[in-house]
């Protein structure tokens, strides 16, 4: 299957700082990427849909000013958690799709810990 | 809630037994996908069943889909200790995946 690389795998940051997470599709062009958040022992919650060259579409309850998404190219989407707080500590996972109705490929996830 | 429901929440079986888990979703779909996740790791895609399919097999996996009931099931036959993981269904509506709550499966030797 296709490869989606997510970086970093884990990050620890101080409260109030910003953290950027990268999601790259290595061997195919992803017009759409998705960002999910997963709290311990819970399922994945879709945060936003990232479309190349346009603004991201955020799910209800997700603050777009706090979770900045940029999808500048067909192979790269970034999620920036701004002014991170301990409650933002979570597992963040991206996925890339070749189009509707096709298999989605997931990155390995980023574990964010805010202290 | 954007999440569908899965049952059971947790399942403990012995090696060699079959494991069955069910999933319900809320919206119309293009397809439904099943994933597994080992603790603290990324997701591994297991199988995709399209909305016009009713049953699909892949190795020891069997998936059914009932669009009239908006439900799906995943059967793992002859389970192994390595099958221990969390299993999630995800309904695909035009590329947007909505995940179920997940079933945690423990297979003991």
pLDDT digits (tens, 9 = 90+) for B58-69: 999 999 999 999
The two most distant CA atoms of chain A are separated, in Å, by 40
How far does A83 lie from chain B, in Å, by closest CA?
Answer: 24
Confidence of residue B2 (pLDDT cuts 50, 70, 90): very low
Instruction: Give the CATH number for residue B64.
Output: 2.60.40.10
In this complex, is the C-beta atom of B13 within 8 Å of any C-beta atom belonging to chain A?
no
Q: Which residues of A touch B29 (CB under 8 A)?
A: none
Domains contained in chain B, number? 1
Residues of chain A with Cβ-Cβ distance to B2 below 8 Å are 45-46, 59
Is-contact B42 B24, C-beta < 8 A?
A: no
**A68 at the B interface (CB within 8 A)?**
no
Model confidence at B1: pLDDT above 80: no
Residue A37 touches partner B, C-beta closer than 8 Å: no
Q: What is the DSSP string of A43-95?
A: -EEEEEEEETTS--EEPTT--TTTEEEEEEETTEEEEEE-S--GGG-EEEEEE
Interface test with B, best of A101, A111, A112 (most B CBs within 10 A): A101
Of A59, A102, A109, the CB nearest to B42: A109
pLDDT at A19 over 50: yes
Judge whether residue B27 has pLDDT over 90.
no
A-B Cβ pairs (cutoff 8 Å, strict): 67
> Residue A103: its pLDDT value, please?
73
Residue A17 has pLDDT above 50, yes or no: yes
Q: List, for residues B28-57, the tens digit of each pLDDT value.
A: 888 999 999 998 788 888 999 999 999 999
Which segments of chain B are extended strands (E)? 5-7, 10-14, 19-24, 31-37, 43-50, 55-58, 61-66, 71-76, 85-93, 96-99, 103-108
Range of the domain at B10: 5-108
């Amino acid at each position: 299957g296709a490869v989606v690389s997510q970086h970093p795998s884990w990050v620890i940051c101080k409260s109030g700082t910003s953290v950027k997470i990268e999601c790259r599709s290595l061997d195919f062009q992803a017009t759409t990427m998705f960002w999910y958040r997963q709290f311990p022992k819970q399922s994945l919650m879709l945060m936003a849909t990232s479309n190349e060259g346009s603004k991201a579409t955020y799910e209800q309850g997700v603050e777009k000013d706090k979770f900045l998404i940029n999808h500048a190219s067909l192979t790269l989407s970034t999620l920036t958690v701004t002014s991170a707080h301990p409650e933002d500590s979570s597992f963040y996972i991206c996925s890339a799709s070749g189009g509707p109705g096709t298999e989605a490929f997931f990155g390995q996830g980023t574990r964010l810990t805010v202290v | 809630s954007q999440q569908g429901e899965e049952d059971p929440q947790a399942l403990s079986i012995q090696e060699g037994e079959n494991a069955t888990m069910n999933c319900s979703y809320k919206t119309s779909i293009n397809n439904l996908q099943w994933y597994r996740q080992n603790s603290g790791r990324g997701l591994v895609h297991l199988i995709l069943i399209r909305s016009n399919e009713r049953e699909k097999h892949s190795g020891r996996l069997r998936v059914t889909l009932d669009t009239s009931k908006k439900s799906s099931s995943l059967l793992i036959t002859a389970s192994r200790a390595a099958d221990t993981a969390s299993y999630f269904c995800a309904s695909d509506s035009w590329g947007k995946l909505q995940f179920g709550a997940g079933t945690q499966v423990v297979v003991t030797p």
